[in-house]
Structure formats: structure tokens, C-alpha cells
């Protein structure tokens, strides 16, 4: 048995997979706040696994609108459901679309085969537009969507000169703020755990870290830079490597809260106290930061607001596309501010 279903998955099948009622699935899909986070996660997983498309997409007749929008996350389920960032982004997108006539299709693209299948789905004009999250630098999907003539908005960007419309946060500023704070706490051996450097977000935060060191009169030291992958285990491995290289380090800027949690575990294994021996700062200001011991200082990203802005921008672009109007390029790029939230870890 190949696991494929006959016909389009139904709302009832999503409900059965998630272990909830049909009405609950409808509330989650329409962004209702009257649903627990656990239930919302279970439904999102079922939607992604089944490839559920709301029935309203069947309104695609003779070139008319489908009133469906795809939110594409090119990550495996483990990262999607382990990282608060994605759930907050989905929440923001859903909330913005709740009062519109647009239905949301959540899609995971985890392999080249799935990417090609999704491109075929788009070519069949089953959605009006696409929201893309967590895009790596070599991902051809943004350009391919544009070639298919569909409006697209990205969460983040692939390069500084990204031609595709995007909504991002001030990642360079996040790195600079973290380093300035650590210097202000009297730290000088400041290390960083980066994200995967094929992603602009990771390179930008690393650039902000280096700029912060230069502004503080500290010489950058590549032994204090260790690459992670935005996962907890990646943060743990990167922190162990940093301790082997530079046991005298006294501060760490981790490029995400989840990696900071992994770094915290490695520091504890090595007998290092936080913040007495090593001060620690993350990025996202997620629930992970507030629940850590000690609570984590973190650079807050307006994640839900990014989701809202992306959805609002895409809906506007879809309307303009149907009306034959083009939005000026400078209105297609939004960078939202970040804010340092100081807690006991530093």
C-alpha cells in the first residue's frame, strides 16, 4: 500500500487524523483563537500530512480565483513542530486571513520530488498565491513560482539584493544589539552559534555579531564562531566545539532560542554556570526563552506580525494581479524592527 489517498482529502479525514472534531478543524483553519496550542499543532500536522486543500479551492473555474493561498515551509516535520517560530508565523498568517475570503493551505516541501510535485500543483492554478518560509539560498522555488505567474511573498530573503517580495526582521540589528548588551555586561570573549550559512538570516545575524564586536573595539576571532542548524542538538554540538576551541569564552550569542537551549545544555555538561561563567543571549523571544533556567535574554522578532504582514501583502498583490496592476518594487520589501529583552541569562 503506497499511502496515497483517492481523491482530495476531506475535512473529516483531517479531523480523524488529528483526533478532533470537524468543527475544531474548521476553527483552526480559519484562525480562531478559541483553540488550544496542542490542538492547533495536531491539526496543522494532519493538514500537512494529508495535503488537505479547503473545498473553496474547487472554485477555480476558467481562470477565476481559487480563493486559496499556499503557505510553504521547506522543512521536515520535526523542525516545523519543534520550533515555536513556525507556529507563531502560521498563527500570524491565519489571523490575517481569518476575516478574508482566502483559505489557507499548509504545505511542507521536504525533498526535490515534493518540490516538483508542488510545482505541478501550482501549474494547475489551484491557488491564487504563495507564502514561502525558511528559504535557503539555493532554493529555486521562489523564482519558479514567479515563472508560473503567481504572486509570491517570502518570509526572509535569500540575499541582500532579493528580487522576490519579502517580509523580514532586522537580523543584522539583532546581532549588534546582542553583542552590545554582552559588552555592556563586561564580557569580552564573546562567541556565537550561527544558523546554517546557506540562509541569509544566519549570515545577517553573524554579520551583526561581527559589526557589534568591531563597534566595541573587539577583534573578531573565527575560533569563537561555530555553525549550527537552528535545532537544539545543533546548538549543543556547536557549543561543545566552542568550549573545546576557546575554554576561556565568557559569553555566547546563539542565533535562535532553540539553539541557545542546546548551548545551555552543553554549558551545564561542562560545569559552566549561566550567567556567572558564561552569559547567554538568543533570538526570537519564544516560549523557549521564558521557560529556560535561567530565563534567556533574547532579541525579540515580531514573528506573528511578520506573518500578518506577509498575508496582507500577498492578498494585495493577488488583487493587483487580477486587476492588471503592478506594485512598485520598493513597496514589496518590509523589514520589521527587533528588540532586546533582557532576562537572567546575561
pLDDT in 10s for each residue of the chain, 346 residues: 334 444 567 777 888 999 988 667 766 765 656 678 888 888 888 888 887 765 443 333 334 567 889 999 887 777 777 778 888 999 999 999 987 878 899 888 888 888 888 888 887 778 889 999 988 887 888 888 877 878 899 999 998 888 889 999 999 999 999 999 999 999 999 999 999 999 999 999 999 999 999 999 999 999 999 999 999 999 999 999 999 999 999 999 999 999 999 999 999 999 999 999 999 999 999 999 999 999 999 999 999 999 999 999 999 888 876 655 556 655 688 999 999 999 999 9
Beta strands in the chain (DSSP E): 68-73, 103-108, 129-132, 152-155, 166-169, 190-194, 225-227, 251-254, 279-284, 297-300, 333-336, 339-341
Kindly list the distances between the CA atom of residue 193 and the CA atoms of 230, 241, 261, in Å, as whole numbers in the listed order: 9, 10, 11
Sign of CA dihedral 306, 311, 312, 317: positive
Q: What are phi and psi of 295, to 5 degrees?
A: -55, 140
- Tell the residue number behind the cell numbers 544566519, with chain if given: 202
What is the model's pLDDT at position 77?
74
Mode of pairing for the β-strands spanning 339-341 and 103-108: unpaired
What is the model's pLDDT at position 329?
54
Please report, to the nearest 10 degrees, the dihedral formed by the alpha carbons of residues 168, 234, 267, 207 taken in order.
-40
What is the model's pLDDT at position 79?
72
Q: Is pTM beyond 0.85 here?
A: no
The Cα–Cα gap between 199 and 162 comes to 12
Total length of the chain: 346
326, three cell numbers:
503592478
CB-CB contact of 242 with 249 (8 Å): yes
What is the model's pLDDT at position 234?
96
Angle, vertex CA 96, rays to CA 327 and CA 337, nearest 5: 70
- Tell the residue number behind the cell numbers 525558511, with chain if given: 134
What is the model's pLDDT at position 171?
97
Amino acid at each position: 500500500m503506497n499511502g496515497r489517498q483517492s481523491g482530495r482529502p476531506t475535512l473529516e479525514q483531517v479531523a480523524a487524523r488529528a483526533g478532533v472534531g470537524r468543527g475544531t478543524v474548521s476553527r483552526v483553519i480559519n484562525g480562531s483563537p478559541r483553540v488550544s496550542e496542542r490542538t492547533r499543532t495536531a491539526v496543522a500536522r494532519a493538514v500537512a500530512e494529508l495535503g488537505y486543500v479547503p473545498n473553496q479551492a474547487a472554485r477555480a473555474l476558467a481562470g477565476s480565483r481559487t480563493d486559496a493561498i499556499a503557505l510553504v515551509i521547506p522543512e521536515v516535520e520535526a523542525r516545523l513542530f519543534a520550533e515555536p517560530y513556525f507556529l507563531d508565523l502560521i498563527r500570524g498568517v491565519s489571523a490575517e486571513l481569518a476575516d478574508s475570503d482566502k483559505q489557507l493551505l499548509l504545505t511542507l516541501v521536504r525533498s526535490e520530488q515534493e518540490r516538483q510535485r508542488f510545482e505541478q500543483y501550482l501549474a494547475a492554478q489551484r491557488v491564487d498565491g504563495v507564502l514561502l518560509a525558511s528559504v535557503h539560498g539555493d532554493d529555486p522555488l521562489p523564482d519558479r513560482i514567479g515563472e508560473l505567474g503567481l504572486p509570491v511573498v517570502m518570509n526572509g530573503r535569500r540575499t541582500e539584493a532579493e528580487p522576490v517580495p519579502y517580509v523580514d526582521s532586522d537580523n543584522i540589528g539583532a546581532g549588534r544589539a546582542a553583542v552590545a548588551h554582552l559588552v555592556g555586561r563586561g564580557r569580552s570573549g564573546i562567541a556565537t552559534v550561527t544558523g546554517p550559512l546557506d540562509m541569509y538570516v544566519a549570515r545577517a545575524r553573524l554579520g551583526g555579531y561581527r559589526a557589534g564586536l568591531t563597534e566595541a573595539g573587539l577583534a573578531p576571532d573565527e575560533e569563537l564562531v561555530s555553525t549550527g542548524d537552528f535545532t537544539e542538538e545543533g546548538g549543543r554540538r556547536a557549543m561543545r566545539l566552542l568550549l573545546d576551541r576557546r575554554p576561556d569564552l565568557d559569553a555566547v550569542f546563539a542565533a535562535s532560542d532553540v539553539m541557545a537551549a542546546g548551548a545551555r545544555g552543553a554549558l551545564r555538561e561542562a560545569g559552566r554556570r549561566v550567567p556567572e561563567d558564561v552569559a547567554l543571549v538568543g533570538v526570537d523571544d519564544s516560549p523557549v526563552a521564558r521557560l529556560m533556567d535561567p530565563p534567556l535574554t533574547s532579541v525579540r522578532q515580531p514573528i506573528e506580525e511578520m506573518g500578518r504582514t506577509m498575508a496582507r501583502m500577498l492578498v494585495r498583490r493577488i488583487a493587483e494581479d487580477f486587476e492588471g496592476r503592478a506594485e512598485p518594487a520598493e513597496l514589496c520589501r518590509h523589514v520589521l524592527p527587533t528588540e532586546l529583552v533582557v532576562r537572567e541569562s546575561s
